[in-house]
């Protein structure tokens, strides 16, 4: 009979996202409730390679659910990409007797988990911790709701200034490969244009739109652009528009890393807590090498190897909604 898991590790990897601490707290307290020893691995996969592993108790995760960032820290570990680095990580886990891992992160973190679990006898369960909401198999990721609400609050304030001065503002939000933050924040703030990596924008159409709006004296406009849009971001788009329509009174605002920080929303705290609880249950039930998602408000399990192959796709219906509402 296969030996039951008695010791587990938890780590956060890749970009931080609000709600990671809530997930860590849920993993630790659920594990201890079931009689497991729980270890925190500092700085993601770097901590596995460099043996920065500490035992966690209930009190270790007190008063963190409301904090942004991650108490375990995070980093990108290039040594873990090598067979030698993963071998060191495995030896360090064996020293502590760790038999299973909960990995909170995004697509890159899951790829690392998939490779590691294939090479060694350490089962992994993933939690989608990324503000980009770009992982297939879940309606929401930990941190997305907070990041979008941060962007919405900022864009609402920018619109007040745009209205006072009859200006066009180009607001750049995060989203190197995925446009969900731009899409949701743009729709909820009434942006006239939303530019995302998934949909190519025709320059001629964009310019024609502004020329038409100028004729009917619609001078206040907000463009929300994801950083990974094919224009190359807000600054490049501003240069192009200024060249084609010199009379535009135009300003650029790049929201940057404020979208990652701050206290997580109620929604992010709740889904992180649910996912953390179910991650431990998965390890106990020997449901290995999956990631925990929420679809239609129900917990679902997707094999990690499928999660790293697929991306969330933005449907044409979303873009139709944008076009109709921004008229």
Contact 64, 21 (CB under 8 A): yes
Q: Which residue from 216, 218, 171, 180 is spatially nearest to 198, judged by alpha carbons?
A: 180
- How distant, in Å, are the alpha carbons of 61, 156, 159, 214, 222 from that of 164? 46, 13, 8, 17, 13
Measured between alpha carbons, how far is 299 from 208 in angstroms, rounded to an integer?
46
DSSP-assigned letter for residue 129: B
Contact 21, 71 (CB under 8 A): yes
* Helix and strand totals (H; E) in the chain: 11, 11
Q: Is 156 a catalytic residue?
A: no
Query: Strand 193-195 relative to strand 290-295: parallel, antiparallel, unpaired?
Result: unpaired
**What is the length of the chain?**
327
Distance between CA atoms of 11 and 80, rounded to whole angstroms? Answer: 14
Q: 198: exposed, middle or buried (C-beta count within 10 Å: 0-12, 13-18, 19+)?
A: buried
CA distances from 238 to 170, 191, 244 (A): 7, 16, 10
Q: Which of 132, 134, 145, 229 is catalytic?
A: 132
Helices (H), the chain: 20-33, 45-50, 83-96, 107-119, 144-165, 180-188, 203-215, 234-244, 266-284, 304-307, 316-325
Which residues are the active-site residues? 132
């Amino acid at each position: 009979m296969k030996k039951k898991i008695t010791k587990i590790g938890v780590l956060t990897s890749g970009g931080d996202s609000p709600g990671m601490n809530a997930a860590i707290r849920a993993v630790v307290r659920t594990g201890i409730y079931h009689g497991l020893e729980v270890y925190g691995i500092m700085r993601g996969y770097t901590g596995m390679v460099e043996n920065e592993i500490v035992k966690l108790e209930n009190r270790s995760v007190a008063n963190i659910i409301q904090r942004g960032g991650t108490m375990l820290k995070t980093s990108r570990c290039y040594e873990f990409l090598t067979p030698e680095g993963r071998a060191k990580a495995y030896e360090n886990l064996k020293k502590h007797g760790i038999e299973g891992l909960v990995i909170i992160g995004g697509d890159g973190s899951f790829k690392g988990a998939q490779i590691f679990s294939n090479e060694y006898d350490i089962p992994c369960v993933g939690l989608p911790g990324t503000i980009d909401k770009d992982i297939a198999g879940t309606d929401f990721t930990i941190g997305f709701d907070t990041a979008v609400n941060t962007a919405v609050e900022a864009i609402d304030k920018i619109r007040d200034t745009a209205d006072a001065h009859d200006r066009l503002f180009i607001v750049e939000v995060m989203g190197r490969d995925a446009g969900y933050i731009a899409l949701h924040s743009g729709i909820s703030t009434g942006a006239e244009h939303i530019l995302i990596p998934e949909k190519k924008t025709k320059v001629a159409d964009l310019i024609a739109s502004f020329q038409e709006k100028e004729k009917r004296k619609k001078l206040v406009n907000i463009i929300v652009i994801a950083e990974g849009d094919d224009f190359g971001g807000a600054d490049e788009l501003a240069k192009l528009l200024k060249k084609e329509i010199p009379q535009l009174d135009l300003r650029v605002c790049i929201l940057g890393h404020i979208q990652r920080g701050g206290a997580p929303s109620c929604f992010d705290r709740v889904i992180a807590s649910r996912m953390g609880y179910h991650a431990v249950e998965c390890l106990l039930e020997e449901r290995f090498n999956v990631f925990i998602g929420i679809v239609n408000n129900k917990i679902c399990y997707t094999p990690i190897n499928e999660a790293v192959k697929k991306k969330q796709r933005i449907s044409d219906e979303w873009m139709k909604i944008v076009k109709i509402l921004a008229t």
